[in-house]
Amino acid sequence: MNNKLAEKLIKSIKNPLKALRYLKFMVRHNFREKKGILVIVGLESEGVFSLMYKGYEKCYCFEANPERFKLLEKKYSAYPHIHLFNVAVAQYNGEITFNISSNNNGASSSVGTFNEDWQEKYNNEKIEMVKSITVPCINLYDFCLKNNIHFIDDYVSDIQGMDLEVLKTLKPMIEHKKIRTITSEVAKNEKINIYRDLPDNSENGFASLLNENYQLIAKGWGVLEDNTFETIPDDAWEMDCKWRLKE
């Protein structure tokens, strides 16, 4: 299999069981019959997307950070089924202030700024926002209507404290069961949000939005395994959670 990005990601994982889980995830997405649509908001050029992009007929990918977006274009622009957009996804269409973080090519960049408690107690790397830029932003539901996206097979978000707010814009699709699975970065209930000036991003907030039509089926980090709930350490602030449509 010619998939250097995925191989690089898997080789970087020191835990053998975790590496095996990532490998199984990659194989499943590469060799199955292709699904319809993946929507992924907040994208790493060598992250989980590198394991799954071959498994869909269309991928709609959104990344606000211009420097990170350049890497995505370099790696994925040759694939006609991958549609890349250098925009922030927010509650409205227009422009928004985007704060660039100091870590790992801006991995923690956000429209918000860091919660001081998180910086003091959990930030061993001394991550901070180093500059602010203005970027285009879109309302994701409006985008779906405009592009005739009526059903999303898998929705994935990692957008630094804005996951719940952006998901709320898709409430009409959630209520009409037009998204099969939802995976998002979620804050613990007692933490609320890692970014001090952004709204609630807690598990309770997601539950309020999703519980009528969706069931929580996994919890952990990175590649999640269905029906597996990893132990979340007491000192962790966030985790990834996955929901699936109720039968």
Q: What is the pLDDT of residues 94-140, one digit of tens each?
A: 999 999 998 877 788 999 999 888 877 665 567 889 999 999 999 99
For residue 180, being part of any structural domain is answered with yes
User: Residues of the chain whose pLDDT is less than 70?
Assistant: 1-14, 121-125
Strand partners, 239: 186
* Residue 73 DSSP code: H
What residues have CB less than 8 Å from 29, skipping those under 6 apart?
Answer: 51, 52, 53, 54, 55
For residue 111, being part of any structural domain is answered with no
* Residues 107, 101 contacting (CB under 8 angstroms): yes
Give how far the C-alpha of residue 100 lies from the chain's centroid of Cα atoms, to the nearest Å. Answer: 17
For residue 109, being part of any structural domain is answered with no
Side by side, which strands form the sheet with 56-62? 82-85, 56-62, 35-41, 152-157, 179-187, 238-245, 214-220, 228-229
CATH of residue 225's domain is 3.40.50.150
For residue 113, being part of any structural domain is answered with no
The whole domain housing 173 covers 4-85+151-245
* Residues 185, 158 contacting (CB under 8 angstroms): yes
For residue 211, being part of any structural domain is answered with yes
Query: How much is the pLDDT for 103?
Result: 81
3-state secondary structure 133-194: EEEEEEEHHHHHHHCCCCCEEEEEECCCCCHHHHHHCCHHHHHCCCEEEEEEEEECCCCCCC
Number of structural domains in the chain: 1
Helix (H, G, I), strand (E, B) or coil at 210: helix
What are the C-alpha distances in Å from 29 to residues 32, 41, 51?
6, 19, 7
For residue 101, being part of any structural domain is answered with no
- Taking alpha carbons only, the member of 85, 68, 86, 72 closest to residue 149 is 85
For residue 121, being part of any structural domain is answered with no
Q: What is the pTM of this model?
A: 0.92
Query: How much is the pLDDT for 178?
Result: 98
Separation CA 170–CA 161 (nearest Å) = 17
